[in-house]
């Protein structure tokens, strides 16, 4: 029988809903697992155990509040959580405790999930490996000598090690997908606006999005339903609800496949696994065709936009780590002509 902490979130929610398992029992299984493996993996960097136990007891005393009733979750340490330390991976915010929850945290909590803590991230989410000066490095639970990826590496490692069943992450240039690949879990970067964010400084910035992570596709689907939804304060928020169709079929669809998106370096093992997935679509009735794409301009445009965003977000270099500092310095060099060129490149790619 699968251990309680390794069940899917969908199954956990069903067990709590039908009173076969209490929310307190489910939470304790995850707290025990965190105590057992987190000292080695270093994925959960702030633990809100007492608060979580109180929430679990309240969940057991009430009718199910939503599709995630009683299911534990940890939030990425870039996401504000009221009353729970949120450092953004920076020594400047090592003791920072927000007064309010981020929009996705409010939505997840309203669906009945129980916040168990925060997951590690590089400083301000900068980098493809999860390490910072506040908490150190998150290690891959499959091999403690290797990286868990980033910047949602804490979430991916915690999922893989059975410390949590679902997690939120964020992605500017692979930060949901890269750690999911490293840790053999599922990370989905949604279309910008599918999971809206409310920002006073970057409302029109579409490169960075929040998204769901889990050990199964079904759990990612469930969490995305909870995280998504229109919010008028977000200019890109999608009005149409996310309503997955369980009967959806790819029969007869034409699917284009590119092994390297026009020349990007791909690890041979990754390329082989990805190519094998085309056979799945073909068995389901889709017509898969390998195509040659030229997306060589994408990296140039991305680097300009990313650097510009970092310069907007940081007025000073004081206290910044080397990765963040480098990005801010590059951003301060970006000119109006650079931004115009990036916009032309992006438009041409579309």
> What CATH code is carried by the domain that includes residue 116?
3.90.1300.10
Active site residue 151: yes
Whether 248 maps to a domain, the answer reads no
Q: Cα–Cα distances in Å, from 203 out to 48, 199, 206, 220?
A: 30, 5, 8, 25
Report pLDDT digits (tens) over 35-79.
Answer: 999 999 999 999 999 999 999 999 999 999 899 999 999 999 999
Together in a domain, 154 and 258: no
Whether 232 maps to a domain, the answer reads no
Together in a domain, 126 and 203: yes
Whether 193 maps to a domain, the answer reads yes
* pLDDT recorded at residue 1: 60
Q: How many domains does the chain have?
A: 3
Query: Any residues with CB less than 8 A from the CB of 207 and at least 6 apart, and which?
Result: 172, 173, 302, 305, 306, 309
In angstroms, the CA 3 to CA 225 distance is 26
Report pLDDT digits (tens) over 148-170.
Answer: 999 999 999 999 999 999 999 99
Whether 236 maps to a domain, the answer reads no
Report pLDDT digits (tens) over 86-125.
Answer: 999 999 999 999 999 999 999 999 999 999 999 999 999 9
Average pLDDT over residues 312-320: 94
* pLDDT recorded at residue 108: 99
In angstroms, the CA 261 to CA 318 distance is 38
Is the predicted pLDDT of residue 147 greater than 70, yes or no? yes
Together in a domain, 182 and 267: no
* pLDDT recorded at residue 66: 97
Active site residue 76: yes
pLDDT band at 80 (very low <50, low <70, confident <90, very high): very high
Q: What percent of the chain has pLDDT over 90?
A: 88
* pLDDT recorded at residue 278: 93
Together in a domain, 212 and 314: no
Together in a domain, 282 and 319: no
In angstroms, the CA 320 to CA 331 distance is 14
Together in a domain, 12 and 136: yes
Whether 163 maps to a domain, the answer reads yes
* pLDDT recorded at residue 14: 98
Together in a domain, 309 and 263: no
Together in a domain, 182 and 259: no
- Give the mean pLDDT of the chain: 96
Question: Regarding predicted confidence, which is higher, 247 or 145?
Answer: 145
Q: What percent of the chain has pLDDT over 70?
A: 100
Average pLDDT over residues 317-324: 95
Whether 328 maps to a domain, the answer reads yes
Together in a domain, 309 and 339: yes
Whether 10 maps to a domain, the answer reads yes
Of 8, 90, 147, 151, which residue is the catalytic one? 151
Together in a domain, 274 and 302: no
Together in a domain, 275 and 160: no
pLDDT band at 261 (very low <50, low <70, confident <90, very high): confident
| Enclosing domain of residue 274 | 254-290
Of 8, 152, 170, 175, which residue is the catalytic one? 175
Whether 246 maps to a domain, the answer reads no
* pLDDT recorded at residue 333: 98
pLDDT band at 203 (very low <50, low <70, confident <90, very high): confident
Give how far the C-alpha of residue 333 lies from the chain's centroid of Cα atoms, to the nearest Å: 30
* pLDDT recorded at residue 244: 82
In angstroms, the CA 211 to CA 276 distance is 26
Report pLDDT digits (tens) over 23-46.
Answer: 999 999 999 999 999 999 999 999
Together in a domain, 275 and 317: no
């Amino acid at each position: 029988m699968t251990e309680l902490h390794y069940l899917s979130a969908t199954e956990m929610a069903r067990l709590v809903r039908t009173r076969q398992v209490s929310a307190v029992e489910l939470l304790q299984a995850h707290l025990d697992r965190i105590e057992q493996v987190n000292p080695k993996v270093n994925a959960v960097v702030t633990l809100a155990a007492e608060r979580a136990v109180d929430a679990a007891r309240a969940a057991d005393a009430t009718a199910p509040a939503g599709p995630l009733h009683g299911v534990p979750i940890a939030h990425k340490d870039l996401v504000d959580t009221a009353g729970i330390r949120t450092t953004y991976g920076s020594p400047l915010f090592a003791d920072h405790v927000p007064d309010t929850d981020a929009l996705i945290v409010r939505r997840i909590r309203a669906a009945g999930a129980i916040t168990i803590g925060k997951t590690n991230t590089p400083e301000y989410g900068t980098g493809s490996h999860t390490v910072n000066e506040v908490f150190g490095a998150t290690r891959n639970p499959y091999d403690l000598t290797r990286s868990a990826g980033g910047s949602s590496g804490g979430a991916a490692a915690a999922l893989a090690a059975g410390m949590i069943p679902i997690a939120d992450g964020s992605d500017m240039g692979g930060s949901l997908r890269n750690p999911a690949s490293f840790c053999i879990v599922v990370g989905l970067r949604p279309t910008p606006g599918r999971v809206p964010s409310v920002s006073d400084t970057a409302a029109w910035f579409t490169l960075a999005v929040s998204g769901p992570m889990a050990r199964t596709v079904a759990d990612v689907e469930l969490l995305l339903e909870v995280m998504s939804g229109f919010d008028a304060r977000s200019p890109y928020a999608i009005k149409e609800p996310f309503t997955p169709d369980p009967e959806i079929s790819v029969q007869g669809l034409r699917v284009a496949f590119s092994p390297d998106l026009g020349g990007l370096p791909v690890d041979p093992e990754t390329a082989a696994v990805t190519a094998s997935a085309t056979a799945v679509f073909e068995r389901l009735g889709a017509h898969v065709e390998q195509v040659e794409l030229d997306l060589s301009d994408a990296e140039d445009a991305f680097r300009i936009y990313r650097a510009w965003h970092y310069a907007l977000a940081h007025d000073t270099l004081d206290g910044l780590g080397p990765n963040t500092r480098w990005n801010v310095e590059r951003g301060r060099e970006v000119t109006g002509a650079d931004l115009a060129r990036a916009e032309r490149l992006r438009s041409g790619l579309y």
